[in-house]
Amino acid sequence: VTTVALKDVTKVFRTGTLAVDRVNLDVDDGEFMVLLGPSGCGKSTVLRMVAGLEEPSSGAVFLNGELANDLPPRDRSVAMVFQDFALYPHLSVGDNIAFPLRLAGLEPGRRGERVADVAGALGIGDILDRRPGQLSGGQRQRVAMGRAIVRRPELFLMDEPLSNLDSGLRSELRAEISGLTRELGVTTLYVTHDQTEALTMADRVAIMRKGILQDVGTPSQVYGRP
């Protein structure tokens, strides 16, 4: 998957909550799109519909131009990174990063090479034998990113990946994430409530409020508007 298009996408949860209200959004090939808005405005729900973890109530999600509403998550070339890292606590760093390759049936030698490449790129090559419980927050987030990129997904979905980190690490990882996704040329949809992240990382920002997409544009377009 390299492009995403949402056409009039609406999500009403069983509870009656209208979480996403007729959203239209295009993410271009290789673009870093930031979905920005306050807590509860529907950002994660949009992301989860792109990942296939939620189905739209109405409207259409297109991946690479193909209608994907019913496509299961495993058939989307998508990797997700969450705020809480979601690492497997009983597996080493190396095995955490290798996990998706194992699911994909890659043989051990090739897994080792790919893990070493990714860990090197993220500066965590020297902690592959540790368990997640022995890592700092920044190291955990790097492991989570390593696990996400190791399968070379075509689409990268990130949900507040920096929210649980202190401000020094946040700025370091902001630069790292932007650098890495651009180096990989991977299309990215990045959810945050943090304006600084939007300003410094985005090619374009989509501003969401109460389920509605209010504005889409480059940071200077969006912040330059009245």
User: 18 or 199: whose CB is closer to ligand ADP?
Assistant: 18
Shortest Cβ distance from residue 130 to ligand ADP (Å)?
16
User: 20 or 177: whose CB is closer to ligand ADP?
Assistant: 20
Give the integer Cα–Cα distance in Å for 20 and 61.
13
> Is the Cβ–Cβ distance between 128 and 115 less than 8 Å?
yes
Q: In a 3-state reduction of DSSP, which class is residue 81?
A: strand
Reading the block at residue 15, the tokens are 């509870």
Shortest Cβ distance from residue 137 to ligand ADP (Å)?
19
Shortest Cβ distance from residue 179 to ligand ADP (Å)?
25
Strand 155-159 relative to strand 187-192, pairing: parallel
Residue nearest ligand ADP, Cβ-based: 44
Sheet holding 58-63, edge to edge: 18-27, 4-12, 58-63, 66-67
Query: Residues 6 or more apart from 223 whose CB is under 8 A from it?
Result: 199
User: 43 or 76: whose CB is closer to ligand ADP?
Assistant: 43
Backbone φ, ψ for residue 38 (5° rounding)? -70, 165
Give the integer Cα–Cα distance in Å for 182 and 163.
21
Give the integer Cα–Cα distance in Å for 87 and 96.
7
Give the integer Cα–Cα distance in Å for 5 and 64.
8
User: 2 or 163: whose CB is closer to ligand ADP?
Assistant: 163
Shortest Cβ distance from residue 65 to ligand ADP (Å)?
25
User: 196 or 220: whose CB is closer to ligand ADP?
Assistant: 196
Maximum separation of any 2 CA atoms in the chain, in Å: 56
Reading the block at residue 60, the tokens are 């259409």
Give the integer Cα–Cα distance in Å for 14 and 124.
42
Shortest Cβ distance from residue 44 to ligand ADP (Å)?
3
Shortest Cβ distance from residue 3 to ligand ADP (Å)?
22
User: 87 or 121: whose CB is closer to ligand ADP?
Assistant: 87
Binding residues vs ligand ADP (CB under 6 A): 13, 15, 17, 19, 37, 39-45, 86, 88
Shortest Cβ distance from residue 83 to ligand ADP (Å)?
10
User: 14 or 225: whose CB is closer to ligand ADP?
Assistant: 14
